[in-house]
Structure 1
Amino acid sequence: MKISTKKKINKILLHVGLIIFSAMMLYPLAWMTMSSFKESSTVFVDAHKLIPTVWDFSNFKEGWKGFGGITFTTFFKNSFIITFIATIGSIISSTFIAYGFSRIKFTGKKFWFVLMMLTMMLPYEMVMIPQYIMFNSFGWVDTYLPLILPTFFGVPFFIFLIMQFIRTIPTELDQAARIDGCNSISIFFRIIVPLVVPAMMTAAIFSFYWRWDDFMGPLLYLSTPDKYPISLALKLFSDPNAVTNWGAMFAMTTVSILPVFIIFFIFQRYIVEGISTSGLKS
C-alpha cells in the first residue's frame, strides 16, 4: 500500500512539474499572441498583463499592408516558394545519397561518408563568407538560387537520418528483387522509397521548419524588398529611426507561425515514427 501511494505521489509530482515547465515554455508564445491584440502604444506599458485591456484587431489589417506597397501576401508567397522547392530538393537528393551509402558499394565509400559527417560539425559562420564569395562570382546574389540550389546536393543530417532508416530494411528484399530482374534504380523506387516514407516525411518537416525560419540566408543574399521572405520582412517593422508598430509586428509574427503549427499537427506522427525507427538497426 505504501509503495502504491508513493508511486501515485511521484506521478502527481511529475505531472505537476511537466505542467509548470510547459507553461514556462509556452508563456512567451502566449504573450506574443496576446500582444498582437493590444494597441501598439500599450504593448510594453501593459507588458505584465497577458490579456489585453482593450482588444485591437486592426493590428492584423495594418500589419498585412506591409511596406512600400508590398503586402505580406508577397512575403508569404516568397517564403512558400523558397521553402517548398528547397524541401523537395533536400528530400529527393538526400534520399538518393542515403541509398547510395547504405546499399551500393563503391571506392572510397567510408572516406566520403566521414567527410560528409564532418560537414555537420562545421559552424555556418565558417562557410558563410566563402559561400557568399562563390555565389557572388556566379551572379546569384539577390536571387533565390543560393537559398534553394544547394539543397539539391543533399543535406548531411537528412542523409544520416534516412540512412539509419534504410539499414532497418532487410537486404534480403534487395536480393529477391535482383532475382526478379530489378537493378539498383528499380530497387530504390519500388522497394526502398515506399518503406522510407516516414523518414522522408520527418526530414521534410524539419526542412520546412528550417527554411521557413531562416533569417541569415535571406539577409545575406537578398537585397530587393519584393523578394523578401517572412523572416526578413518582419525585421522591417523594427525601425530605430521611427516609432515601431509593435502591435502590427506581433500580429504578423503570430500569423507567420501558423504554417509551422499546421504542419506539425498534421504530420507529427511521422516525426515520432521517423526518429524512433531510425534509431533501430536490424
Structure 2
Amino acid sequence: MTTSSFSEAALVQVENQVDPDPKETARPRRVKRKTWQTVIWLVVLLGVTAVVLYPLLWLFLSTFKPNGEFGSNMGLLPNNPTLENYAKVSEGIAGVPMWRFFANSLLIAVVSVIGTVFSSALAAYAFARVHFKGLGILFAAMIGTLLLPFHVLIIPQYILFNRLELVDTFIPLLLPKFLATEAFFVFLLVQFIRQMPRDMDEAARIDGAGHLRIFWSIILPLIKPALITCAIFSFIWAWNDFLGPLLYLTSPENYPLPIALRLYNDQSTTSDFGATVTASFLALLPVLLFFLVFQRFLVDGVATQGLKG
C-alpha cells in the first residue's frame, strides 16, 4: 500500500467517525420523543382519572366520618374515623331492615331488565323484519313517544292503576316494562337488526321456520351485544328510579333504596348525614359492580353499531 492510498483510507475513516449516518442519529431521538409523549399522556390520563374518581373516593371515606364532622370537615380524610354509620345503616330505618330495601330494589331492577329486554327485542323484530299495513305510522308514533316526558303520563297512569287497585304494589312499576314502552331501546334494537343481512332469514324461511323460530334462533344470538347494552341501561335506570316508587308505593316495607335514603332526612328536623352518605355508597356499589362486569359487552354493543352486515 502506497502512502497516498493509506492517507485516503485514513481520511475516509476519520470522516465516518466525524459524520455518522443521519438515520442512526435520528432513531434515538425518535425513541426519546415517543417516550416523552407516552409519559405526558400517562400523566394526563392519571390526572383525569383522579378528577373523575375523586367524588367516589370522597363518598367512601366520608362513610367513616362522625355525623357531627360533616359541617366542619369537608376534606377527603376523616378526623375521627368511626364505623358508627355502618351500624346505623345495618339496623335499618322506619322499622324496616336495610336488606329489605336492597331486596326491593334488586327485584324491581332485575324484573325490569327481563321485561324491557324481551319486549323491546320482540317489538324491534316486528318493526325491522315483519311487513304489515301501517308499519311506518306505528314506528313514527313509537318514536314520537320519546318526545313525551314522563310527567305527562303520570296522572292518567296513576288513575288507571288506582282504579285497578294496584297502588302500593310493584305491578305499576313492572308491568309497563313487559309492554315495550321503552321506545329508546326499541329504536336501538331496530337499527341493530336492520343492519343484518336477510340471507339467513330467507334460508330459514325456506326450511319452514316461522317468525318466532327466526327471532329465537337467528336474530337473538346476533343482537346479543345490543341486548346487553339495553340490559345495563335498564338496570341502572330501574335501580336509581325515584319518582315511580315515590308515586306508587306507600308502605315502608315496599320502598326501594332511593326512597329509603330520603327517610334519613325526613324522620326528624335534623338530617343524619353520616347514615345518608353510607347508605348512598352502599346503594351505589351494585350499579358500579354491574357496570364493571358488563362494560366489555357495552363497548362491543356501541362499537358494532356502525358495522354493516
**Fold conserved between structures, TM > 0.5:** yes
Contact 1:161 1:278 in 2 (8 A): no
Residues 71, 20 of structure 1: CA spacing in aligned structure 2 closer, same or farther, 3 A cutoff?
Answer: same
C-alpha distance in 2 between matches for 1:109 and 1:269 = 34
Answering whether residue 147 of structure 2 is matched by residue 121 of structure 1, we say yes
Counterpart of 2:85 in structure 1: which amino acid? N
| Residue correspondence of structure 1 range 153-172 to structure 2 within 5 A | 153-154=179-180, 155-172=182-199
Answering whether residue 281 of structure 2 is matched by residue 254 of structure 1, we say yes
| Residue correspondence of structure 1 range 92-107 to structure 2 within 5 A | 92-107=118-133
Indicate the residue corresponding to 2:237 in structure 1.
210
Unaligned 5+ segments in structure 2 are 1-25
The DSSP-based 3-state class of the residue aligned with 1:278 is helix
Indicate the residue corresponding to 1:76 in structure 2.
102
The DSSP-based 3-state class of the residue aligned with 2:136 is helix
Counterpart of 1:171 in structure 2: which amino acid? R
- The CA RMSD measured in Å over matched residues stands at 2.1
Answering whether residue 212 of structure 2 is matched by residue 147 of structure 1, we say no
Counterpart of 1:71 in structure 2: which amino acid? P
Identity value in percent: 41
Indicate the residue corresponding to 1:65 in structure 2.
91
Counterpart selection for 1:175 from 202, 221, 229: 202
Provide the TM-score with structure 2 as the length reference: 0.84
The DSSP-based 3-state class of the residue aligned with 2:147 is coil
What's the CA shift for 1:131? 2.0
**1:89-112 per-position Cα deviation (integer Å, ceiling 9, x unaligned):** 111100000111111101111111
Counterpart selection for 1:236 from 263, 266, 286: 263
Contact 1:64 1:252 in 2 (8 A): no
Counterpart of 1:58 in structure 2: which amino acid? E
Residues 153, 279 of structure 1: CA spacing in aligned structure 2 closer, same or farther, 3 A cutoff?
Answer: farther
Runs of 4+ off more than 6 Å: 1-11
What's the CA shift for 1:61? 1.7
**1:106-160 per-position Cα deviation (integer Å, ceiling 9, x unaligned):** 1111111111111112122222222222222222221111110001111211111
What's the CA shift for 1:240? 7.2
C-alpha distance in 2 between matches for 1:118 and 1:281 = 27
Q: Which has the larger Rg?
A: 2
C-alpha distance in 1 between matches for 2:87 and 2:209 = 58
Counterpart of 1:192 in structure 2: which amino acid? I
Q: How many residues align?
A: 281
Unaligned 5+ segments in structure 1 are none
The DSSP-based 3-state class of the residue aligned with 2:221 is helix
C-alpha distance in 1 between matches for 2:219 and 2:268 = 56
Counterpart selection for 2:80 from 34, 54, 59: 54
**1:199-248 per-position Cα deviation (integer Å, ceiling 9, x unaligned):** 11111111000000001111111111000001110110113743322112
Residues 73, 13 of structure 1: CA spacing in aligned structure 2 closer, same or farther, 3 A cutoff?
Answer: same
Indicate the residue corresponding to 1:190 in structure 2.
217
